Amino acid sequence: MAVTRLAILGATGSIGRQALEVVRAHPDALRVTALSGRSRAAEVARIARDFGVARVATGDADLAALATAPDVDLVLVATPGVAGLVPTLAALEAGKSVALANKEVLVVGGHLVRAAAGGAGERLRPVDSEHSGLWQCLAGERADEVKRVVLTASGGPLRDLPAASLGAVTPEEALRHPTWSMGTKVTLDSATLVNKAYEVIEAHWLYGLPYDRIDVLLHPQSIVHALVEFADGSVKAQLGAPDMRVPIQYALLGERHRPGPGSSLDLAAAGRLDFRALDRGRYPCFGVVLDAARSGAGAVIGVSAADEAAIERFLAGELPFDAIPELLRRGADLGARAVTDAAPPLAAILRADNEIRARLGAPVGVG
Ligand code: NAD
Ligand code: MG
């Protein structure tokens, strides 16, 4: 295997650190040549030393410069929020491949990413477990024979709480995810199911599927990650232990199943796999986000900005958990008015995102 030179954006995060474990296991295939971490400068310096990396960015440095450096072949985008959009597009335009963990990139800029890279494949490699699952199920299949795809959802940290108590949920409770250990933004988005709605939007852009052919099923064990139903009724599913190192490695190695640090699945120990339909009444944000996505680019840009604002304010104790859906609705309205173009250019996306975040009360950034 030729050595792939890798830039990791967000190397100190949950995905970033697990990616470093994958790199360590494959010295013949992967070498880190650039990395970033916004905070924890000492940890960034230690990682750079351990992996012999000279190109390092901390704070709010220019991630596009890292992502387009000449000694980079593949960029792992593992920073949360809209901040991932500019470096992703820059990398693709510079001819790099991108392994995409960040969700907002496709949520607000899916049309731009698709224009630059097409759908999932060598140049645009999904890292999220559900989209990795679809990628694996669709390998060797014909797109025109796919009837529908299904993404599974654990239900998040609050799935067993009575709906009436959601108003009093504390950040600590909302951050306690039952099956995955992840960064703050994605864990809180899992509590509201904004995360799963984002994943539906990602699947739309990655696989060119209309929204009415992408379903979501609750599956508390997080073992079946995704399913594909074909026109003849045959269904393929992708299973694995809930361990992000497996899909991270599959993306970084480019659709290879080599031995690595990921856990293997013990179905006898798991005992059972449960599925149930999603109760949309319990997760109002899910519908708000998908209605926005169906209604147009402006509304979904507004929802994304509002969600970043909502999470900042919820963590600061300024916004009750059950007020998040209303803030997202306001974001969708503001976005639809600010951006009327069906396929807005990057500058218009960033401008609307900034304005709506400021309007809805977010301090800058998450993480
Ligand atoms: P995290 O919060 O653990 O780590 C984020 C990393 O990005 C850190 O290195 C941080 O310093 C850096 N960062 C934060 N804000 C930044 C900004 N504004 N600009 C530049 N750098 C910034 O997050 P994570 O859980 O590793 O998730 C990273 C991305 O991957 C998110 O978009 C998330 O939705 C996605 N994702 C994560 C998981 C998971 O299991 N953790 C699974 C699927 C998808
Ligand atoms: Mg996921």
User: Tens digit of pLDDT for each residue in 150-189?
Assistant: 999 999 889 989 888 999 999 999 999 888 889 999 999 9
Burial code (b: 16+ CB inside 10 Å, e: under 16) for 47-61 equals bbeebebebbbbeee
What local confidence, expressed as pLDDT, does residue 181 receive? Answer: 87
The 10 Å Cβ neighbour count of residue 44 is 22
Give the position, in ligand 1's atom list, of the atom nearest the Cα of 17. 26
Q: pLDDT tens-digit profile of 290-320?
A: 999 999 999 999 999 999 999 999 999 999 9
The response to whether residue 37 sits with its C-beta less than 6 Å from ligand 1 reads yes
Tens digits of residue pLDDT in 278-288: 999 999 999 99
In the structure, ligand 2 is a single-atom ion and the residues with CB under 5 Å from it are 128, 130
Residue 249 has pLDDT above 70, yes or no: yes
With beta carbons less than 8 A apart as the criterion, state whether 324 and 166 touch: no
Residue 31 or 364, more confident: 31
pLDDT band at 60 (very low <50, low <70, confident <90, very high): confident
Q: Is the Cβ atom of 78 under 6 angstroms away from ligand 1?
A: yes
Mean pLDDT, the chain, whole residue set: 95
- Comparing C-alpha atoms, which of 243, 234, 236, 235 is closest to residue 270? 243
Q: Please state the rounded mean pLDDT for residues 330-352.
A: 98
Helices (H), the chain: 14-25, 41-51, 63-67, 85-93, 104-117, 129-138, 171-174, 184-192, 194-207, 245-252, 267-270, 284-295, 297-315, 324-338, 346-359
Closest C-alpha to 102, from 181, 176, 195: 195
Question: Which atom of ligand 1 is least distant from the CA of 14?
Answer: 26
pLDDT, one tens digit per residue, over 109-140 is 999 999 999 999 999 999 999 999 999 999 99
8, 9, 12, 14, best to mutate for ligand 1 pocket (most atoms within 8 Å of CB): 14
Provide the pLDDT for residue 1: 66
Q: Which ligand is nearest to the CA of 153?
A: 2
Q: Please list the residues that pair with 7 across neighbouring strands.
A: 34, 75
Q: With 0.75 as the threshold, say if the pTM is over it.
A: yes
Rounded Cα–Cα distance for residues 217 and 204 (Å): 16
Q: Which CATH superfamily is domain 4-127+244-263 in?
A: NAD(P)-binding Rossmann-like Domain (3.40.50.720)
> In angstroms, what is the span from residue 102 Cα to ligand 1's centroid?
7
Instruction: Return the exposure string of 186-216: e unless at least 16 CB atoms fall within 10 Å of the residue's CB, then b.
Output: bbbbbbbbbbbbbbbbbbbbbbebeeeebbb
What confidence category does residue 364 fall into, taking pLDDT thresholds of 50, 70 and 90? very low
pLDDT at res. 177? 86
Q: Is the pLDDT of residue 363 over 90?
A: no
Q: How far is the CA of 128 from the centre of ligand 2 (A)?
A: 5
Is any ligand 1 atom within 6 A of the Cβ of residue 246?
no
Q: Does residue 365 have a pLDDT over 60?
A: no
- Cβ–ligand 1 distance for 180 under 6 Å, the answer yes
Residue 328 contacts residue 303 (beta carbons within 8 Å): yes
**Which residue's CA is the closest to the ligand 1 atom numbered 21?**
38
Please work out whether the CB of residue 298 comes within 6 Å of at least one atom of ligand 1.
Answer: no
Q: Which ligand is nearest to the CA of 41?
A: 1
Q: How confident is the model at residue 9 (pLDDT cuts 50, 70, 90)?
A: very high
Which atom, in ligand 1's list, is nearest to the CA of 101? 30
Q: Which atom of ligand 1 is nearest to the CA of 189?
A: 34
Contact 34, 8 (CB under 8 A): yes
CB of 126 closer than 6 A to ligand 1?
A: no
How do the domains of the chain map onto residue ranges? Answer: 4-127+244-263, 143-215+277-360
* % of the chain residues with pLDDT over 70: 98
